[in-house]
Structure 1
Amino acid sequence: MNLKTQGFILIDVDAAALNNSGKSTSNDYENGVDTKKMFKDGRAYPYVSGQAWRYWWRETLQKNHGWELSPVTRDNKIAFTAADPVKYADDDVFGYMKAAKDAKLDEEGKPVLDKKGKAVLENVTVTRVSPLKNSVIIAAAPVKTSQNWSSMSRQEGDAVPYVKEEYSAIMKGMFSLDLEQLGTFSNYNKTGFKNLTDDIKESALASGATEIDDPYVKDSKGRPQKLVRLHRDVRLKRIQDTIKALKTISGGAMQTDNMADVTPKLIILATTNTGNHPFFHVASNHNNSFNFDTENIRQVLADYKENILGTVFIGRRSGFLDDQGSSLKDLESLDQNYPPVKVLSVNEAIDQYCIQLQSQIS
């Protein structure tokens, strides 16, 4: 069964400039900077790119969860990581593409030479689609941004003025973590399916990984292709670390004087047996204002009852959406036509969901 963690978050920021887009095109100031924003029906929605969110996430896993990040190699205009998801958890979770050729080695580990004495090269191109997929983090309702004059000033000389664009907004984002794909790798020679080099595959099997049948792909004789799967404890820790990192995630531009808390103020976590993400529209724009209605959550729970496995955990930070606190808590009393729901603080919801995963990861 292809299980996925489906997550939805709301963050709440004031006077923020989380992700800038470069020199301003909306004014004539020489030192002006615009924030990233999209337009819908002529109105502005500031957003954080999905790439920026992933950068914050990866950095948090390194700093707060002790992950050793995969080293990056730069070659002219291209760059790639070690592409070793067995050793580096971030290669496993965030995916990679490495198009390269290395020297072919003989049984003694020495380079194989051609007739001219040059090393024979072999293709070691590997790719991995990220098990962690995420949206942008975007304002849930249109926002009017403000331009703030600042200056670089010291004791001597003239001040150098500059302009930056700021906003206050409730912003939403979603992510999906493939629980079956994480820690599981294919090695057969097919575009997009070769996750591991032969050397890394052998190293993984020697370190306790096992081979399992791929339920979806067969070879030319109709036999299931083989997948390499890491030990359950390793996979579970990587999954739990990835989700728990949201408790302390930090990042964003202009942090020195526009520091913003980007941890979730509301989070929904559920395990599903489908790739469809059900929760993104539980917060929406209504008459150009932020709208959050627990009736939207109730409808999603009813519609996806057959696809949701276990309990749905909803976390809310005290002081955020306090007017919805009692109606959220009422979701715990829904009848058997809905999946069970627990409403807790944000950190408690994350922790208890991670405990539930212990019985869902095979």
Structure 2
Amino acid sequence: MAYPVLTGSVLIEANGAALNSAGRAESLRTENAIVVKQIRVGRFRFPYISGQAWRRWWRETLYGDFGWTPSEVIREAKNAYTKGDPIAFEEDDLFGYMVARKRQRGRGMEEREDIESAMGTNRRVSPLKNSPLISVLPNVITVDFGHFSRNLPPGADAVPFEFEHYTTFFQGVFTVSLTDVGCFAAGEMADLSVEVLKSHWDELHQIPGEQPVYLLPMSERVRRVRDVLLALAHLRGGARLARNLSDVSPVVVLVGFLNGGNAPFQRLFEPDENNERVLLNLPRLHSILEDYRDRLLVVAESKVVFFGYRPTVLANEADVLKEFQKDKLFSECIEVVGTPQQALKIAAELIGPIFEEYVCPGEEL
């Protein structure tokens, strides 16, 4: 039985940016010192963007460009959670949630049982999973010094501040479990509360079983995955953009469909010998394709791994294009399609056929 996933690796360029801050630092010269998130490996420091921040950018692009409605957030004294309604809110479906409501006691047994079934804990594992975005190049963090002096009274001292920024490339991976999109179980600790299920009963198709499963129409499931993929092509967000504006849409993309839940296209990018430019690690990619070749999903005998890139980004661009054409394994598995946005658009167009063949065989789109 197939377990189809959409998976990809992205490279994002940051130019004089500080996209994810870690807060104040006591070690710098001024009290107002803000540092970026970073990972230390020996003597190397790699800035990174948390997976949570990446997901926030993704959500906000979906709100702004694709009309997704943010799920209502309920705030309690020591807890916060979304509405937990993945039928009404696409983000609850794709990004998952944990809804841990306080139980309330009713006056009668029937009332109490109904309230407890409706107000318990529900959790949905996110079909969309992603890594942090980690810098390919090490030791690129620079400390900048500034001061606030605009329109201060005569004789007032300027207010000094420091902050870190970098010019680098970030790489990360993501997967979308296609069989889990728009597919829900109901009950305690499951995707849906009984309350939410009852409110959307007419919108779902039930698959009977020991624990019934409820499905959105295939057309809606396909739309949601397409939106997620196309939003990545137009991704925007990040901290300190007012004076450190950086485009965070991918400059290199490798995206495809696999039978299996892994995200194998990891750490495909590496620094050159001078730690100045980015290379695509061809031996590593070749090794991955050797292992996953038989797990690549095929639609109408078409390749389903697509490569898109911005010219001049990769230091070994000429070698990459040559090897993709000359090497038999590369040429059979990967199609070079132009820009990153074109690669994501072509993959998005295949989501419907993938659903028809591997997710919902026999169901018309």
TM-score normalised by L of structure 2: 0.86
- Please say if residues 188 and 225 of structure 1, whose CA atoms lie closer than 8 Å, have aligned partners that are also in contact: no
- Cα RMSD between the aligned structures? 2.5
2:287 is the alignment partner of 1:291 = no
Aligned to 1:138: 134
Question: Matched residues in 1 for 2:328 and 2:37: separation?
Answer: 43
CA deviation profile, 1:155-193 (whole Å, cap 9, x unmatched): 23342121001111111011111111011011144x4xx
Question: Matched residues in 2 for 1:49 and 1:36: separation?
Answer: 8
Mapping 1:1-362, distance limit 5 Å: 1-101=2-102, 113-114=107-108, 121-122=115-116, 123-157=119-153, 158-189=157-188, 191=189, 194-207=190-203, 209-212=204-207, 224-285=210-271, 287=273, 289=275, 290-310=278-298, 311-321=304-314, 323-325=316-318, 327-328=320-321, 330-332=323-325, 334-335=327-328, 339-343=332-336, 344-361=338-355, 362=360
The AA in structure 2 aligned to 1:59 is E
For this pair of structures, how many residues does the alignment match? 341
Residue 248 of structure 1 deviates from its aligned partner by: 1.3
The AA in structure 2 aligned to 1:210 is H
Question: Matched residues in 2 for 1:285 and 1:322: separation?
Answer: 9
Which consecutive unaligned segments of at least 5 residues does structure 1 have? 105-111, 214-222
Where 2:293 maps in the other structure, the secondary structure is coil
Question: Matched residues in 2 for 1:236 and 1:259: separation?
Answer: 33
The structure that is helix-richer by fraction is: 2
Question: Matched residues in 1 for 2:44 and 2:330: separation?
Answer: 39
The structure that is strand-richer by fraction is: 1
Residue 328 of structure 1 deviates from its aligned partner by: 2.7
Question: Matched residues in 1 for 2:271 and 2:211: separation?
Answer: 47
Residue 202 of structure 1 deviates from its aligned partner by: 3.1
Which consecutive unaligned segments of at least 5 residues does structure 2 have? 299-303, 361-365
Structure 1 stretch 349-358 or stretch 119-128: which is displaced more?
119-128
- Please say if residues 301 and 339 of structure 1, whose CA atoms lie closer than 8 Å, have aligned partners that are also in contact: no
Residue 201 of structure 1 deviates from its aligned partner by: 1.9
The AA in structure 2 aligned to 1:65 is F
Where 2:58 maps in the other structure, the secondary structure is helix
Residue 284 of structure 1 deviates from its aligned partner by: 2.4
Question: Matched residues in 1 for 2:63 and 2:185: separation?
Answer: 26
- Please say if residues 94 and 128 of structure 2, whose CA atoms lie closer than 8 Å, have aligned partners that are also in contact: yes
Residue 224 of structure 1 deviates from its aligned partner by: 4.5
Where 1:199 maps in the other structure, the secondary structure is helix
Question: Matched residues in 1 for 2:329 and 2:51: separation?
Answer: 37
Question: Matched residues in 1 for 2:71 and 2:115: separation?
Answer: 24
- Please say if residues 25 and 35 of structure 2, whose CA atoms lie closer than 8 Å, have aligned partners that are also in contact: yes
Question: Matched residues in 1 for 2:262 and 2:131: separation?
Answer: 13
- Please say if residues 323 and 330 of structure 2, whose CA atoms lie closer than 8 Å, have aligned partners that are also in contact: no
The AA in structure 2 aligned to 1:292 is L
TM-score normalised by L of structure 1: 0.87
- CA, structure 1 residues 48+212, in 2 after alignment: closer, same or farther (shift >3 Å)? same
